[in-house]
Amino acid sequence: MSENGNVNLALIEPVLEKYRGGGRTKLLPALHEIQGIYRYIPEPAAAALGRALGIPLADVYGVIGFYTLFYDHGPVGETVIRICTDPSCGIAGADRVLDAVCEKLGIKPGQTTPDGKFTVERTTCLGLCEHAPAALVTRNGHTYQLGSLSPEAVDELLEGKGAKPTPIVGGDGVLLGRIRKGIPATLSDYVREGGYTALRKALSEMSPEDVIAEVKKSGLAGRGGAAF
């Protein structure tokens, strides 16, 4: 198998057969399974997957390169610990947690321990700002989140233990007042629950200038991503 850079493609033959002819729609699950076998996605395996699915290799690498949870080099550690260091987690002490983990393992962020057991990385927001600092851990083929990390609990983190956070969503405000009160099944249900109240007020009681001023005053960000 020297032509494949010593990559044993026989290991992924069941995966290739499982998804053969599936096209682009099967690319993501197949990549996850292949990475679970090698702990990264070797080029020969990516090429074999492209042939099996019937898609160009460029498409395979387009997905590998887009998603940060895929690796085209490696192998990464048996356990991958990704610690969020974005603003909310950073303010809550994420860098101290990251430093403590790396010091314990004798590596730097982005590195893998010599025994291949751990990889530690920085990552961007995990959507767990209310549980900061937070981490995303991949261990034994399973990925899960941990929150409320601390430098004093490094051993617990390395063992895959810690607080398993649940999102905290709720409130009495305009945006969150109806959260978890059921999803209206009809337009009349939505209106009865107060839907379109703000729209009616904007159309009947406010001028365009008033609407613009109200939006600016609210400080609301849009929903286009990255606080657009």
pLDDT reported for residue 2: 33
* pLDDT tens per residue, range 205-220: 999 999 999 988 887 7
Least confident of 109-113, 163-167, 181-185, 192-196: 181-185
CB 135 within 8 A of CB 81: yes
pLDDT reported for residue 144: 87
Does the structure show a pLDDT above 80 at 181? no
172 falls in which pLDDT band (50, 70, 90)? low
Other Cβ atoms within 10 Å of 105 Cβ, number? 21
Element (H, E) at 29: helix 27-38
Does the structure show a pLDDT above 60 at 69? yes
Distance CA 140, CA 117 (A): 11
pLDDT reported for residue 120: 95
DSSP of 102-121, one letter per residue? HHHHT--TT-B-TTSSEEEE
Provide the residue type at 61 as one letter: Y
Q: What is the mean pLDDT of residues 154-162?
A: 86
177 falls in which pLDDT band (50, 70, 90)? low
Does the structure show a pLDDT above 60 at 224? no
